[in-house]
Amino acid sequence: MLLALLLLRANKVVLRDTLTEELSGGAASEAAANALQAGISRLRKSLVPDVISSSSLRRRGARSSRPGGQSARQRRFARR
């Protein structure tokens, strides 16, 4: 149902409280917010499992700043 709600609002910002209320059928509670977060996590993993993992992001060249002002990618190329 989460995916359906997001698809109905494609290319629009959807507030967490809005999703929580629609999914729980009422006022947002802490349990409903936790359930929404778990649902989002499962949805992300099922749609793009390769992109979610941090090791995958590093393989794709994501930059993580390190002391000294160089990213891990810059240091790797400097060693070659």
Tens digits of residue pLDDT in 40-51? 999 988 887 655
pTM over 0.85: no
SS3 track for the chain:
CHHHHHHHCCCCCCCHHHHHHHHHCCCCCHHHHHHHHHHHHHHHHHHCHHHHCHHHHHHCCCCCECCCCCEHHHHHHHHC
Domain ranges (residues) in the chain: 2-60
Tens digits of residue pLDDT in 13-52? 999 989 999 988 877 788 898 999 999 999 988 887 655 5
Higher pLDDT, residue 8 or 80: 8
